[in-house]
Amino acid sequence: MKTLIKTGLSILCVWAGTAWGAPITFNTALPVHEGGYVLREQFIYMKIADDPTPAQRDMRVSGVMSVLGYGVTSDFALFGMLPWFNKRLDMTMGGEALTRRESGVGDLTVLGRYTAFQRDTPGRTLRIAPFLGVKAPTGEEDARDGFGRLPPAVQPGSGSWDALGGAVVTWQTLDLQIDGQAGYQASREAKGFQPGNVLRIDASLQYRLWPRNLGADVPAFLYGVLEASLAHSARDRIGGADDPNSGGTTLSITPGLQYVTRKWIVEAGIQIPLNQHLNGTALRNDYVITTGFRINF
Amino acid sequence: MKFKTFLQRTAIAFSLMLAATGVLAAPLSYQLRVDGLACPFCAYGIEKKLNAIEGVERVETNIKDGAVIVIMQDGFTLDEATARKAVKEAGFSLRKLEPAQSVPNAGPR
């Protein structure tokens, strides 16, 4: 069942690393100025249900992702991402409804991003930036309740050191911005559970809705945002064996809005699955609502 | 020549002389053409880096034209190498620096 969290929460945890007028659900190649910081707070609410089994599992996750980016140089930026989760799993067992829940700080991800290609022209920029990171097991991964140890999906942390990497390309003009990203997260085993590795391909279009015409200063921009995400998760492994009810492929879209000023950005989007090919009885994402802000300093 | 006319002409000549030597000149300002600048959030980094240069009075950005006007304090000038470094540190590219008003041939301070 970890898969349902993995594909859904990837919006919050691994790929939401950066700032700027940028995608809502993943990264960008735009710069953090040297010696500067960008703080991002992202709030999410996720519902995962449609359980085909008699257990009628229904999971809801709310959380906050805090991201701090620092421009080491104009080409190299470091990001630290720390989530806080409140997870709740409702299910039926033996004809009785039961709830299992946990909240707490999740795993810390540290990510480095290097601008390997940059081509600037008047009012336009094209950049390609590979990134590499590590996720440290800072979150609780052995939380228990009256029924025993909570399932991995309800634990705030994974308990494992994981690696992630990929590359993002950004093409920005005064009117619109297009971002694309390919990323891979390799997870390791902890306490007999190993989440399946995740491959994600993302694309984002941000189009300036307002102001329609630019004047002789720096007005705030209102962007309409449309993003697509294709995520494939391998099967989880439990006790060294594949879990047949885990893993699969999800295609989602995220329409949203972004209001961008010099100093801050506010944004909101809702991720809706278009197509889900999940293995066995793996739960399906219903939707993910994300809102947040970013501050430049 | 009447004394009043003499005084007027002397005052005009003196003013022109002061202007020519820069004593009465307005603060120097420069126009930077910055490539790659395409959103408000990015403009912040450029303005922050340019404002950190010694002698910069204020910075005004025209995002539509990719132009950044840097107004200097009295007695300060801005050279291209310093401006290029600041723009580069912000993550962008300086295409051109040109005086927005007449600038004497003085080096950076």
* All domains in chain A, ordered by first residue: 2-296 (2.40.160.40)
Closest among A270, A264, A268, A283 to A39, alpha carbons compared: A264
Asked if A173 is an interface residue toward chain B (Cβ–Cβ < 8 A), one would say yes
Contact list, B66 vs chain A (CB under 8 Å): 122-123
Select the residue of A31, A124, A214 nearest B63 (Cβ to Cβ).
A214
- Would an 8 Å CB–CB cutoff place B15 in contact with chain A? no
Inter-chain residue contact A121 with B37, CB threshold 8 Å: no
Question: Which among B37, B91, B95 is the nearest to A74, CB-wise?
Answer: B91
Residue B41 lies in a domain: yes
Chain A residues closer than 8 Å to B90 by CB = 31, 33-34, 74
DSSP state for residue B36 in the 8-state scheme:
T
Asked if residue B10 belongs to a domain, the reply is no
The whole-number pLDDT of residue A2 equals 47
Shortest distance between the Cα of B4 and any Cα of chain A, in A, equals 47
Task: Flag whether B17 is in a domain.
Answer: no
Given this model, what pLDDT does residue A16 score?
Answer: 47
The whole-number pLDDT of residue A94 equals 87
Q: Before A211, cis peptide (omega within 30)?
A: yes
**Residue B81 belongs to some domain of the structure:** yes
B107 within some domain: no
Q: Which of B31, B32, B35, B39 to mutate to test the interface with A (most CBs of A within 10 A)?
A: B39
Is the Cβ pair B95, A36 closer than 8 Å? no
Q: Output the pLDDT for position A14.
A: 44
CA distance B108 to chain A (A): 23
Residue-level pLDDT at B6: 61
Q: Which tens digits make up the pLDDT trace of A99-149?
A: 999 999 999 999 999 999 999 999 999 999 999 999 999 999 999 999 999
Is residue B27 less than 8 Å (CB to CB) from chain A?
no
What are residue B10's phi and psi, to 5 degrees?
A: -65, -40
pTM of the prediction? 0.86
Yes or no, beta carbons of B35 and A120 under 8 Å apart: yes
Taking every pair of C-alpha atoms in chain B, what is the biggest distance, in angstroms? 64
In a domain, B59, yes or no: yes
Residue B77 lies in a domain: yes
Determine the Cα–Cα distance for residues A292 and A273; give it in Å rounded to an integer.
21
Q: In whole angstroms, what is the distance from residue A66 CA to residue A164 CA? A: 18
Question: Is residue A139 within 8 angstroms of chain B, CB to CB?
Answer: no
What pLDDT digit, counting tens, does each position of B11-48 carry? 555 554 544 444 455 679 999 999 999 999 999 999 99
pLDDT at B4: 63
Q: Give the up-direction half-sphere exposure of residue A23: CA atoms within 13 A in the CB hemisphere.
A: 29
CATH code for the domain in which residue B82 is found: 3.30.70.100
| Per-residue pLDDT, A285 | 82
Which ranges of chain A have pLDDT less than 50?
2, 7-8, 10-20
Q: Indicate whether this complex's ipTM tops 0.90.
A: no
Question: Do A261 and B49 count as a contact with CB atoms less than 8 A apart?
Answer: no
Across the interface, do B45 and A121 touch by the CB < 8 Å criterion? no
Rounded to the nearest angstrom, the minimum Cα separation between A38 and chain B is 10
The residue behind tokens 């601008």 is: A115
**Given CB atoms, is A71 within the 8 Å cutoff of chain B?**
yes
Label residues A71-84 b or e (16+ Cβ within 10 Å = b).
Answer: bebbbbbbbebbbe
| B100–chain A Cβ distance below 8 A for any pair | no
Angle at B48 between CA B45 and CA B54, to 5 degrees: 145
At residue B18, the 3 state secondary structure works out as helix
Total of domains in chain B: 1
Contact A125 B35 (CB under 8 A): yes
Is A176 an interface residue toward B (CB < 8 Å)? no
Q: Please name the residues between 77 and 96 in chain B that touch chain A, using a CB distance below 8 Å.
A: 88-93, 95
Q: Is position B69 within any domain? A: yes
User: Mutate which of A20, A114, A125, A172 to disrupt the B interface (most B C-beta within 10 Å)?
Assistant: A125
Chain A: residue whose CA lies nearest to B47: A262
The partner residue sitting opposite A30, judged by closest CB among B42, B65, B89, is B42
The stretches of A133-254 forming alpha helices (DSSP H) are: none
Contact A220, A253 (CB under 8 A): no
Per-residue confidence (pLDDT) for residue B22, from 0 to 100:
47
CB B78 within 8 A of CB B54: no
pLDDT for the residue numbered A282: 84
Please give the residue range of the domain that contains residue B35: 26-99
